[in-house]
Amino acid sequence: MHFPPAEQQQASLVMERIKTAIVGASGYTGQELLRLLLVHPNVELVAATSRQEAGKPLSAVFPRFRKLLGAELPFMEPDPDAIAATGAKAAFLALPHGVAAEIATALLERGLKVIDLSADFRLRDAAVYQEFYAHEHPAPALLEKAVYGLPEIRGEEIAKADLIASPGCYPTSIILPLVPLLRAGLIDPETIVANSMSGVSGAGRKADLSLLFCECNESARAYGIPKHRHLSEIEQELSLAAGEPVVITFIPHLIPVNSGIATSITAKLRPGTTLAAVGEAMEAAYGTKSFVRLLGPGVCADTKHVTRTNFIDIGWAHDARTGRIILTSAEDNLGKGAGSQAVQSFNLIFGLGETAGLQSA
């Protein structure tokens, strides 16, 4: 068949689209993945699973997607054979920890690339997983295969991986500001304290008395202390950056906004370390990175500038009275802290431009 040049080009683009599945597509993170992948120029969404919504079109459950190409795709049961039968080459898993590992194993066996947004493959040590998640790891043999999915830190490894462990929202906001300083030996790891504030969507789309509007509105509270589950992956990644064990104090808070994470971190500077050296380390690490915006000294990160994007903003200041550096970061917990960061890894795996489908302000 003869195509005019424009139609031929359009047909070629359609042929190049990567068939993709979302497993657990009805939660907040799943909805964010739908928002991104339905309009991603290189993606054909061929499967979206939800036990509760199986058989209903995406547009019926999420009316905001009406008239988007692919929005009439019906939710299906999370059956690995059925997912593989769609021709999917990759699957995003937006499932609870402990549940994701089983289907990840099944999909890997069927030849799919798997990007897991649960905590099941983030830790290298099954014993640490059991300590923080209170049950044995369901697939310990896969831990060595998984790559921790921070594209700014492990981009080359991600591009070659079959299994990506996409980081948690809090860890992303803490690890990225600290890694350059730990690698350069500019701060004392024993003095790190991180305080984070998260929007309510970070707790997931579920019925929970503590998450009702009247319980959260006009309220702010700490929770998950002194040993939030995300500490496990935060300390793992910081220890790798420092080349020595790192144990930190981490205090998460719930605040009455839908989405966004604001994190403030303090640590003692090593003797002789200047504010200029901090800026140089940040610039060397992230100056060319598409989704890290360095605000510079004296500027505090603000969630209103990052929600609905894949950006993380990082600022810093020197407290001369205490000899501490103060780092601030802001990100969207459903974006750079979850869905869009997973898409960033997807882009790397399939050799696409890293920013494909993620360029929004």
- Could you report the per-residue pLDDT of 73-110, keeping only the tens digit for each? 999 999 999 999 999 999 999 999 989 999 999 999 99
pLDDT at 154 over 90: yes
CATH at 99: 3.40.50.720
Contact 91, 82 (CB under 8 A): no
pLDDT at 140 over 90: yes
Give the pTM: 0.92
* 159 and 174 share one domain: no
The answer to the question of residue 354 being in a domain is no
* 109 and 160 share one domain: yes
* 144 and 216 share one domain: no
* 292 and 264 share one domain: yes
* 150 and 181 share one domain: no
Query: Token pair for residue 244?
Result: 């020595």
- Return mean pLDDT, the chain: 93
The answer to the question of residue 358 being in a domain is no
How do residues 19-56 score in pLDDT, each as one tens digit?
999 999 999 999 999 999 999 999 999 999 999 999 99
Distances (CA, A) of 275 to 64, 177, 242: 46, 14, 19
Alpha-carbon torsion 80, 81, 82, 84, what sign?
A: positive
* 63 and 194 share one domain: no
How do residues 107-127 score in pLDDT, each as one tens digit?
999 999 999 999 999 999 999
The answer to the question of residue 139 being in a domain is yes
One-letter amino acid of 77: E
* 85 and 227 share one domain: no
The answer to the question of residue 72 being in a domain is yes
User: How far apart are the C-alpha atoms of 315 and 328, rounded to whole Å?
Assistant: 5
- Give 135-138's long-range contacts (Cβ < 8 A, gap of 24+): 135/98, 137/101, 138/98, 138/101, 138/102
* 228 and 278 share one domain: yes
CATH at 252: 3.30.360.10
Sequence-distant (≥ 6) Cβ neighbours of residue 56 within 8 angstroms: 74, 75
The answer to the question of residue 90 being in a domain is yes
Range of the domain at 173: 169-331
Pairwise pLDDT comparison (205 vs 299), residue with the higher score: 299
* 233 and 322 share one domain: yes
171 preceded by cis ω (within 30°)?
no
Least reliable range by pLDDT among 126-135, 160-169, 180-189, 202-211: 202-211
How many domains does the chain divide into? 2
Question: Among 169, 214, 216, 300, which one carries the catalytic annotation?
Answer: 169
The answer to the question of residue 356 being in a domain is no
The answer to the question of residue 355 being in a domain is no
Residue recorded with tokens 């509270």: 221
What residues pair up with 335 in beta bridges, in sequence order? none
Pairwise pLDDT comparison (77 vs 13), residue with the higher score: 77
* 74 and 53 share one domain: yes
Work out the pLDDT band at 258, boundaries 50, 70, 90: confident
* 173 and 322 share one domain: yes
The answer to the question of residue 276 being in a domain is yes
User: How far apart are the C-alpha atoms of 20 and 42, rounded to whole Å?
Assistant: 10
Residues of the chain by 3-state class (helix, strand, coil), percent to 5 = 35, 20, 45
Contact 325, 187 (CB under 8 A): yes
pLDDT of residue 208: 72
Give the phi and the psi of residue 265 in degrees, each rounded to 5: -130, 140
169 is annotated as an active-site residue: yes
- Give 153-161's long-range contacts (Cβ < 8 A, gap of 24+): 153/179, 153/237, 155/348, 155/354, 158/345, 158/348, 158/349, 159/348, 159/349, 159/351, 161/113, 161/349
**Residue whose C-alpha is closest to residue 26's, from 55, 66, 61:** 61
pLDDT of residue 207: 62
Pairwise pLDDT comparison (255 vs 210), residue with the higher score: 255
pLDDT of residue 181: 98
Q: Say if residue 121 is exposed, middle or buried (CB neighbours under 10 Å; 0-12, 13-18, 19+).
A: buried
* 79 and 140 share one domain: yes
**Percent of the chain predicted with pLDDT > 70:** 93
pLDDT of residue 206: 61
Tell me the Cα Rg of the chain. 21
